[in-house]
Amino acid sequence: MRRHHNKASRLSAAVATFLAITEGAGAAQLTNKDTESYTVIVTEGGVKNELAIAGGETLTFCNSGCFLTLPSGNKAALAGAEGVEIINGEAVVK
């Protein structure tokens, strides 16, 4: 008997796994200082993942180096321990 899983549940599981794997002490933190929500793209190990970040929210990601792409198209190469803030739609790496 074949079990069918819908795409939404597989995607949710993949995102949860991605966040669990990437969360850690040496990981980068992204803080959205704006009130607007954004979707950013994190490319780590050749794998692209979209992360939604609400206004005022902080996400932890990128343990061992990655590329961060903002909706503006700006990109940042991260080693994994940086703090990144979104201010007026732009990334500021600290």
Phi, psi of 77 (to 5 degrees): -90, 125
Determine, yes or no, domain membership for 13. Answer: yes
Determine, yes or no, domain membership for 72. Answer: yes
Number of domains in the chain: 1
Domain range for residue 44? 7-93
How many Cβ atoms from other residues are within 10 Å of residue 40's Cβ?
21
Kindly give the pairing relationship between strand 28-32 and strand 83-87: parallel
Determine, yes or no, domain membership for 79. Answer: yes
Determine, yes or no, domain membership for 1. Answer: no
pLDDT in tens, 31-85: 999 999 999 999 999 999 999 999 999 999 998 899 999 888 989 999 988 999 9
Of residues 17 and 92, more confidence is placed in 92
pLDDT of 11: 45
Determine, yes or no, domain membership for 22. Answer: yes
CATH code for the domain in which residue 11 is found: 2.60.40
What span, in angstroms and rounded, lies between the C-alpha atoms of 84 and 94? 6
Distances, alpha carbon 23 to alpha carbons 29, 58, 88, in Å: 9, 12, 26
Determine, yes or no, domain membership for 2. Answer: no
